[in-house]
Amino acid sequence: MKNTDLSDVLRPGCSPEEIALKSFFLGPQAENAPWLRELIRDVLDQWVHWRKDHYATDGRAISEADQQTPEFLRSVETFRNEVQEILHRFQSEVPNYSPRYIGHMTTEISLPALVGHMLTLLYNPNNISEEVSRVGLQVEKNAIGALLAMVGYDQSKATGHFTSGGTVANIEGALRARARMRNWIAAGASARKLQRYNGTVVEAAGMGWATYDQLMADPEIRSCRDEGTFDLLDKPFAAADAIRDVFGRSYRGPVVLVPGNKHYSWNKAVDILGLGTEAFTEVKTDELGRMDVADLDRCIGRARDEGRPVMMVISVVGTTELGEVDPIDQIAEVLDSWRENEGIDIWHHVDAAYGGFFCTLRHDESEEYLTNPVKHALRAMYRANSVTIDPHKLGFVPYASGAFLSGSVREYAYTRIKAPYIDFRSDDEPGLTTVEGSRSAAGAVSTWLTSRVIGFDRHGYGRLLARSVVAARKMGLGLADAHPWIRVNVARDTNIVTYCVAREGEPVSRTNARTLALYEAFSTEKDHAFFVSKTALSLSSYEALLRPYAGAWNAGWDTDTLVMLRMVLINPFLDTKETDISYINSFIEHLVASIQTRNELK
């Protein structure tokens, strides 16, 4: 069946620009292979020239005679065979390039990204320092500049680096938030000891750079701080006692405020930093699964009353489960009011690992793709202290490519650890501040090439993501109409569709069993018609969303989580008109057939 039904209004017309998008990918049937092959051959040829042109008078190390010896030939033969073996094994890899793959946040990679990645591997720079990466590091700076511009940061003040992914980028944010807090507490405690400051520990922890600079300009405070008595990183236990003595209250450590929709990498971050799981405080989410801003304000107030500083507030752009966008603008307002009215400056990190690339649509006035609250949220990202963004998700870049962005060079360069064996030429060499040591330049070069070829704006990525939003909307509408038991979730800010399959009035545990059985049916099919993923939303994190949502079919809450099928609709060819199959319609037919024919689902 061709893709002809469902509201045509939602389909972007096939303008020449839309057709040009097809040059960015190999295509489900490797349609662009002929010219790609040529391009890759050129990449290899230039690599060969690079060698031949350097030290050309050195003479050959491997002679033609060497290459003809039986041992040499045998070892080449083994090599070829082993390569064939691995290639053979990879034939059964998950076909994540296919529009039939609508499971996790993985999809087709773009050709500019692939070629950027491949060519970097050939030159193999190590972006730990300029000593071992002449070009790679420059390209990384260019790529970071492009990401900063996309997010809306002032490039003259902001900075950042590439990481292996969102998890590490989040840890980079947490480390810096903690380092800033440690400095401010130590300055406040030192000044208090000298009776030149009378704030509480919570106020000290959020004193702001202006107060900090003012205190540190006093040589006595500075020397007291340098003694390290109040340094929670150098001497955590002794410093806690010393802090209790000057502030007159036990120091119970900071809290980290994260919304219930958080990614589990935040549990890892808190764990790795040794903050204690009690540091973790979940902010409630609202009826759309976004951070509840009023609850955020309450959580900050409660922490203050308990004498615990808020080390950082984390918000999410593109939640892992539902693709929701927290109200970054309103969160920034709450934090501004704490700064202005209470003198408490709190670090705000936006985890935009998934949704960061939607910034390319933040100035789109058409109202067609993103709602106004989402656009306002995206336009406020520059107000955060730091941002995580994963080109290896919506950037169509191969793994591993994540990025950590910081709005201020001062907050970015939080530590100065020297390695005696590396020649760090300037204070802003990456290896001094990155969590990782040796780092590939491949993720940065891929991202840079995509920014040049596809474009980090409305006309490039904006078009690709707009298509994915349209595909998700069509899928959502189609599913809701297809069968009375399919309950499509209302939370659909971006391109993720979630739903469960529930009968009127039944207990949630029964619905969960059916939804899980459907998931199993998809994943155990021999020919794998489609790939979907699943998730479970808990009442503790999503109460405001789940109660009315499941109330619509009078569900009985006999368990505290609702299992959902989850589909991430990123593939650029999902809604194409050319293929012989309509992926969206076929998926819906497939699902309905499963519901109707399987007895265990009744």
Ligand X SMILES: *Cc1c(COP(=O)(O)O)cnc(C)c1O
Of residues 373 through 392, those in contact with ligand X by CB under 6 A are 390
In this complex, which beta carbon is closest to ligand X, that of residue 328 or of residue 486?
A: 328
Q: How far is the CB of 112 from ligand X (least distance, A)?
A: 20
Distance in angstroms between the alpha carbons of the first and the last residue of the chain: 28
In this complex, which beta carbon is closest to ligand X, that of residue 395 or of residue 402?
A: 402
What gap in Å lies between CA 537 and CA 544, rounded to an integer? Answer: 11
Q: How far is the CB of 238 from ligand X (least distance, A)?
A: 35
In this complex, which beta carbon is closest to ligand X, that of residue 185 or of residue 296?
A: 296
In this complex, which beta carbon is closest to ligand X, that of residue 172 or of residue 295?
A: 172
At CA 116, angle to CA 172 and CA 409, rounded to 5? 30
324 makes contact with ligand X (CB under 6 A): no
353 makes contact with ligand X (CB under 6 A): yes
Task: Note the helical H segments in 289-401.
Answer: 293-305, 328-342, 372-379
Spatial CA neighbour of 499 closest among 588, 372, 560, 573: 588
SS3 389: strand
Of residues 534 through 553, those in contact with ligand X by CB under 6 A are none
At CA 291, angle to CA 290 and CA 295, rounded to 5? 140
What gap in Å lies between CA 296 and CA 217, rounded to an integer? Answer: 34
Task: Dump the DSSP string for 364-386.
Answer: --SSSSS-HHHHHHHHTGGGSSE
In this complex, which beta carbon is closest to ligand X, that of residue 107 or of residue 167?
A: 167
Of residues 127 through 166, those in contact with ligand X by CB under 6 A are 165-166
In this complex, which beta carbon is closest to ligand X, that of residue 239 or of residue 291?
A: 291
Of residues 402 through 441, those in contact with ligand X by CB under 6 A are 402
Q: How far is the CB of 323 from ligand X (least distance, A)?
A: 9
212 makes contact with ligand X (CB under 6 A): no
Cβ within 8 Å of residue 205, ≥6 positions away: 181, 184, 185, 188, 254, 309, 310, 311, 344
Q: How far is the CB of 288 from ligand X (least distance, A)?
A: 16
Q: How far is the CB of 166 from ligand X (least distance, A)?
A: 2
In this complex, which beta carbon is closest to ligand X, that of residue 130 or of residue 390?
A: 390
Contact range with ligand X by CB under 6 A, out of 237-245, 351-359, 514-522, 550-558: 351-359
Q: How far is the CB of 266 from ligand X (least distance, A)?
A: 8
What gap in Å lies between CA 118 and CA 493, rounded to an integer? Answer: 34
Of residues 235 through 264, those in contact with ligand X by CB under 6 A are 263
Bridge partners (DSSP) listed for residue 325: 317
In this complex, which beta carbon is closest to ligand X, that of residue 103 or of residue 206?
A: 103
Cβ within 8 Å of residue 175, ≥6 positions away: 273, 414, 435
351 makes contact with ligand X (CB under 6 A): yes
Shortest-Cβ-distance residue relative to ligand X:
166
Number of other CB atoms surrounding residue 485 within 10 Å: 18
Distances (CA, A) of 433 to 11, 128, 336, 414, 429: 46, 10, 28, 7, 8
176 makes contact with ligand X (CB under 6 A): no
Strand duo 348-352 + 561-568: pairing = unpaired
173 makes contact with ligand X (CB under 6 A): no
In this complex, which beta carbon is closest to ligand X, that of residue 354 or of residue 382?
A: 354
Q: Which pair of tokens denotes residue 225?
A: 């701080």
Q: How far is the CB of 325 from ligand X (least distance, A)?
A: 11
285 makes contact with ligand X (CB under 6 A): no
In this complex, which beta carbon is closest to ligand X, that of residue 203 or of residue 351?
A: 351
In this complex, which beta carbon is closest to ligand X, that of residue 201 or of residue 400?
A: 400
Q: How far is the CB of 164 from ligand X (least distance, A)?
A: 7
Cβ within 8 Å of residue 430, ≥6 positions away: 127, 128, 129, 137, 140, 161, 439
Q: How far is the CB of 485 from ligand X (least distance, A)?
A: 29
320 makes contact with ligand X (CB under 6 A): yes
Per the listing, tokens 């459907």 go with 518
Member of 107, 129, 133, 167 binding ligand X (CB under 6 A): 167
316 makes contact with ligand X (CB under 6 A): yes
Distances (CA, A) of 425 to 414, 417, 431, 560: 18, 13, 11, 55
Bridge partners (DSSP) listed for residue 507: 556
Size of the site for ligand X (CB under 6 A): 13
| Residues making contact with ligand X (CB under 6 A) | 165-167, 170, 263, 265, 316, 320, 351, 353-354, 390, 402
